Amino acid sequence: MTIDQKLNDLGYTLPTPAAPAASYVPVRQSGKLLYVSGQISADANGVVKGRLGEDLDVAAGQKAAALCAVSILAQVNQVTALSNIKAIQKLTVLVASTPEFYEQHLVANGASDLFIKLLDDKGKHARAAFGVASLPLGAAVEIDAIIEIE
């Protein structure tokens, strides 16, 4: 089963990749590594906004993180076929949250679990997750990635 088919089975479709909102490129390739710029939580209805611990709970944050993962795949798909992914090497997960919110790691699982469901062992990765006061466009979650390709 292809990654696209697995995405569809999980209720997702690859969106049209978002254009950069500032002075950067969405993906930079160096050898077999793709550095994917931060992708914010967004779906067909627009940006998923809010702060964890104030507007959103962990489950909503996990869904927002999964949307970031799907956007990362959409950006990769612009550079190479998703079947060329050798491994998700590293994710950095930023979670807009209140100072009292301490479950950023659980929110990040929304993206991590999706990558593992889609790619099995290739989806297992190193990760950092931390809280921030705010994110661009009021997004709840932003994730960047380092992905190795064949």
Say which amino acid occupies 148: E
**Residue 89 in tokens:** 């090497």
**Residue 69 in tokens:** 């993962």
* Residues near 133 by beta carbon (within 8 Å), at least 6 away in sequence: 96
Residue 47's DSSP bridge partners are: 42
- Mean pLDDT over 10-15 rounds to 95
Q: pLDDT tens, 59-102?
A: 999 999 999 999 999 999 999 999 999 999 999 999 999 999 99
pLDDT at residue 18, rounded to an integer: 84
Return d(Cα 147, Cα 150) in angstroms, integer: 10
Q: What is the pTM of this model?
A: 0.97
Look up the CATH superfamily of 3-14+25-141: RutC-like (3.30.1330.40)
Domain ranges within the chain, ordered by starting residue: 3-14+25-141
End-to-end CA distance of the chain: 18
Instruction: Identify the H or E element spanning 143.
Output: strand 141-149
State whether the Cα torsion 105-111-115-118 is positive or negative.
positive
